[in-house]
Amino acid sequence: EKGGYDYFMLKEIVEQPRAIADTLLGRLSVGGELTLDEMRLSAQDLRSVEKIVIIACGTSYHAGLIAKYAIEHWCRIPCEVEVASEFRYRDPILDRQTLVIAISQSGESMDTLMAVRYAREQRAKVLAICNVNGSTIPRESDGVLYTHAGPEVGVAATKTFLTQLAACYLIGLYLAQVRGLKFGDEIDAVIAQLATMPEHVEKVLDTVGPVRELARSLSDADTVLFLGRHVGYPVAMEGALKLKELAYMHAEAFAAGELKHGPIALIEEGLPVVVVVPSPQGRSVLHDKIVSNIQEVRARGARTIVIAEEGDESVRPYSDVLIEIPAVPTLLQPIVATVPMQVFACELALAKGNDVDQPRNLAKSVTVE
């Protein structure tokens, strides 16, 4: 059942292109309108939305953070993201014009469920993104968009995360369409690019070999830092979470611009720092700023592991290890940039002799608050 792999996690990482393709299937029509008909929310409901609040936990929360960038950019609707366990305790401002998006792989996380119930009591509309058909959160929500990742057995979320991203992009693009906000060309171009993501992920999987060696060489490190900006920041957070869960190592992510406000004091000789570099084509200002950050940490002795777009030669001189990912639009980059992080954490954990399917102290779905 592990399909020839020693662990479900390894199999699930490899299944990602298919999982994304299945999640997009029948929903994405290049050059046309998206079809999200099982969503149970009418175009009219979606046109009246004035604010979006995304609630989720753990890896699903990271998907939400990425969704915020896409939704605000494409739809111009203000969007907040909050960890579900904090949500209802701060008296959040919700009303009928608020769309709450609850992201939960299992559909059973108690923290997320409680936040959903609270949001509905406050008359907000709730849309769930979920991977398990008929689970509690979609049943208690006004609408649902299922991810079609198939069952995920490994405790650490991998393929479900990438399919959550695909679902978030679909919702963002759909909202832009029903609200008539086609800055036409960009939306159409992104839809076309989204359709090609399974191939891009396939390509990343074919080229991550060096990540395995790298991971094995770092199994004695005490700490690994992760840096990113824009959508690369939540990707860095996800990379750090995977390393904590699987390799039981201290790992922390920073928005690269925050480095100078404190965390740079942590940099010392030999400290591994993983950096997600934005595309030089997309937001080139951010690209150049992060290249300076790489130089800064390296000048202080860090060992730099750089994830950058293929052909981005500007980072090569400052990279101890350079991991190339395909060129895709900035907002979609998390789909390809996450994959080397998953492989890195998984291999590092295996090098330490850990069980990557059943990490200590963790459960696949957390049904207590």
Chain residues that interact with ligand F6R, rule: CB under 6 A: 57-60, 104-106, 109, 112, 156-157, 241, 245, 365-366
Handedness of CA 329, 164, 147, 346 (dihedral sign): positive
Q: Which of 336, 83, 319 is nearest to 196 (CA)?
A: 336
Which CB sits closer to ligand F6R, 98 or 112?
A: 112
CA atoms within 13 A on the CB side of 328: 25
Least Å from the CB of residue 136 to ligand F6R: 10
Which CB sits closer to ligand F6R, 112 or 338?
A: 112
Which CB sits closer to ligand F6R, 241 or 294?
A: 241
Tell me which of 51, 244, 352, 364 is the catalytic residue. 364
Which CB sits closer to ligand F6R, 114 or 255?
A: 114
Residue nearest to ligand F6R according to CB distances in the complex: 58
Least Å from the CB of residue 68 to ligand F6R: 17
Token pair for residue 92?
A: 């959040």
Alpha carbon dihedral 19, 357, 14, 321, in 10-degree steps, equals 120
Least Å from the CB of residue 71 to ligand F6R: 19
SS (H, E, C) 301-358: CCEEEEEEECCCHHHHHHCCEEEEECCCCHHHHHHHHHHHHHHHHHHHHHHCCCCCCC
Which CB sits closer to ligand F6R, 176 or 341?
A: 341
Backbone angles phi, psi at 24, to 5 degrees: -85, -20
Q: Which of 345, 282, 245, 328 is nearest to 13 (CA)?
A: 345
Which CB sits closer to ligand F6R, 27 or 242?
A: 242
Nearest-angstrom CA–CA distance, 173 and 322: 32
Nearest-angstrom CA–CA distance, 363 and 14: 22
Token pair for residue 58?
A: 């753990």
Least Å from the CB of residue 84 to ligand F6R: 8
| Size (the chain), residues | 369
Least Å from the CB of residue 331 to ligand F6R: 21
Least Å from the CB of residue 314 to ligand F6R: 32
| Catalytic-residue membership of 364 | yes
Least Å from the CB of residue 258 to ligand F6R: 23
Which CB sits closer to ligand F6R, 94 or 157?
A: 157
Nearest-angstrom CA–CA distance, 57 and 160: 13
> Strand runs (DSSP E) across the chain, as ranges?
51-56, 79-83, 98-104, 125-130, 143-146, 223-228, 250-255, 272-276, 303-309, 321-325
Nearest-angstrom CA–CA distance, 41 and 36: 9
Active site residues: 364
